[in-house]
């Protein structure tokens, strides 16, 4: 546990829910992601000295920003009375369904943990990032924070305390994400779900979830493709994204294994057998959204097996 004078950590964006895994499944992409720089501070406590890439929209107070809250939780959990100064560089859009707040919290906790040589375990770092999520989203779910931390595909068996099950990622698996230029609030989007699920839909969902996990273990892309269906959240949320059905159809027609909302949307993801396939899917999805009069950003990336990591401390 060495102390350095600066630690820069990168935490990747994540796709949660993954069609059939509402609140229990997520995966990390290789990019984009958030970068947090942690520096020692002369006084105890956490300060947030800089936020870039958010167009000035995130809270600047460390106690209201997910990065600051995560580091505060880390200091409390480890009984550390030293101080940390944070700079947060957002590499992805806010409220887009890509786990933006989770990535900030994960990057911040990891950077501070390394800076101060605290030696906190991944379980502790996850709890700290979830404390940040609670401030950002009103509830603490691990399905973005855990894959951003661990990388790859991750199952959240139970949320409180988190029981995280890392899953294998088939060789070559890639992801296309399009973000239409509209915003969806996670809180509002959760409200659309209601409190109950038809038993028949629940059975369909757990059949698909089980099969998706079996498909990941086997590297069986056809089984994965058959499983990527959401009969619980997508039917209630897709109406928030104009052109969702056409976009999904375009992704599947381009050869994608599956396509659904990323998290609570509005971003739409497609899982593909290769990077080239993900390029095709992104193109097809963006074109479909354009047809609905919606501009969008595109991200194409391998599905990372690496989670949060340190970057060279040049900045």
Q: Is 295 in the site for a second copy (CB under 8 A)?
A: no
Q: Is 232 in the site for a second copy (CB under 8 A)?
A: yes
Count residues binding a second copy (CB under 8 A).
Answer: 39
Three-state DSSP at 7 gives strand
Q: How far is Cα 185 from Cα 252, in angstroms, rounded to an integer?
A: 27
Q: Is 194 in the site for a second copy (CB under 8 A)?
A: yes
Q: Which two tokens stand for residue 12?
A: 């990747």
Interface of this chain with a second copy, residues 20 to 49, rule: CB under 8 A: 20-25
Q: What are phi and psi of 110, to 5 degrees?
A: -65, -45
Query: Contact with a second copy (CB under 8 A): which of 14, 189, 208, 267?
Result: 208
Three-state DSSP at 93 gives coil
Q: Which two tokens stand for residue 78?
A: 């480890």
Q: Taking CB under 8 A as the rule, which mask of x and - marks residues 154-173 in contact with a second copy?
A: -xxxxx---x-x-x------
CA nearest 271: which of 240, 227, 208?
A: 227
Partner residues linked to 162 by β-bridges: 159
Distances (CA, A) of 306 to 209, 233, 238, 259, 315: 23, 28, 30, 23, 22
The answer to whether the beta carbons of residues 163 and 157 sit under 8 Å apart is yes
Kindly state the smallest distance separating residue 246's Cβ from a second copy, in Å: 25
Window of 26-34, 207-215, 245-253, 295-303 that interacts with a second copy by CB under 8 A: 207-215
Question: Among residues 24 and 126, whose Cβ is nearest to a second copy?
Answer: 24
Question: Among residues 232 and 282, whose Cβ is nearest to a second copy?
Answer: 232
Kindly state the smallest distance separating residue 276's Cβ from a second copy, in Å: 28
Q: How far is Cα 154 from Cα 208, in angstroms, rounded to an integer?
A: 16
Q: Tokens 């829910």 map to which residue?
A: 17
Query: Contact with a second copy (CB under 8 A): which of 28, 35, 135, 223?
Result: 223
Question: Among residues 233 and 294, whose Cβ is nearest to a second copy?
Answer: 233
Q: How far is Cα 148 from Cα 152, in angstroms, rounded to an integer?
A: 8
CA 13 to chain centroid, in Å, comes to: 5
Q: Is 203 in the site for a second copy (CB under 8 A)?
A: yes
Kindly state the smallest distance separating residue 222's Cβ from a second copy, in Å: 11
Kindly state the smallest distance separating residue 287's Cβ from a second copy, in Å: 31
Window of 100-108, 180-188, 189-197, 248-256 that interacts with a second copy by CB under 8 A: 189-197
Window of 79-87, 98-106, 211-219, 300-308 that interacts with a second copy by CB under 8 A: 211-219
Q: Is 193 in the site for a second copy (CB under 8 A)?
A: yes
Three-state DSSP at 25 gives strand
Q: How far is Cα 26 from Cα 149, in angstroms, rounded to an integer?
A: 11
Window of 44-52, 181-189, 196-204, 294-302 that interacts with a second copy by CB under 8 A: 196-204
């Amino acid at each position: 546990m060495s102390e350095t004078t600066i630690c820069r950590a990168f935490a990747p964006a994540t796709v949660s829910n993954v069609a059939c895994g509402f609140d229990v499944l997520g995966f990390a992409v290789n990019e984009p992601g958030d970068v947090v720089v942690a520096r020692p501070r002369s006084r105890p406590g956490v300060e947030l000295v800089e936020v870039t890439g958010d167009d000035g929209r995130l809270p600047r107070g460390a106690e209201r920003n997910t990065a600051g809250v995560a580091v505060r939780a880390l200091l409390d959990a480890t009984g550390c009375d030293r101080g940390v100064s944070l700079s947060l560089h957002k590499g992805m859009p806010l409220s887009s369904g890509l786990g933006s707040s989770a990535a900030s919290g994960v990057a911040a906790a990891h950077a501070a943990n390394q800076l101060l040589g605290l030696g906190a375990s991944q379980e502790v770092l996850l709890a700290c990032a979830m404390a940040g999520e609670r401030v950002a989203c009103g509830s603490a779910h691990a399905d973005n924070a855990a894959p951003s931390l661990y990388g790859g595909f991750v199952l959240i068996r139970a949320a409180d305390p988190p029981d995280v099950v890392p899953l294998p990622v088939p060789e070559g698996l890639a992801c296309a994400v399009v973000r239409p230029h509209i915003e969806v609030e996670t809180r509002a989007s959760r409200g659309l779900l209601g409190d109950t699920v038809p038993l028949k839909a629940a059975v369909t969902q757990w059949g698909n979830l089980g099969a998706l996990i079996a498909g990941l273990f086997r590297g069986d892309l056809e089984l994965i493709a058959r499983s990527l269906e959401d009969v619980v959240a997508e039917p209630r949320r897709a109406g928030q994204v104009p052109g969702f059905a056409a976009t999904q159809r375009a992704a599947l027609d381009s050869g994608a294994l599956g396509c659904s909302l990323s998290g609570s949307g509005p971003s739409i993801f497609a899982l593909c057998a290769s990077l080239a396939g993900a390029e095709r899917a992104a193109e097809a999805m963006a074109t479909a959204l354009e047809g609905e009069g919606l501009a969008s950003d595109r991200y194409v990336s391998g599905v990372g097996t690496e989670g949060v990591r340190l970057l060279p401390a040049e900045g």
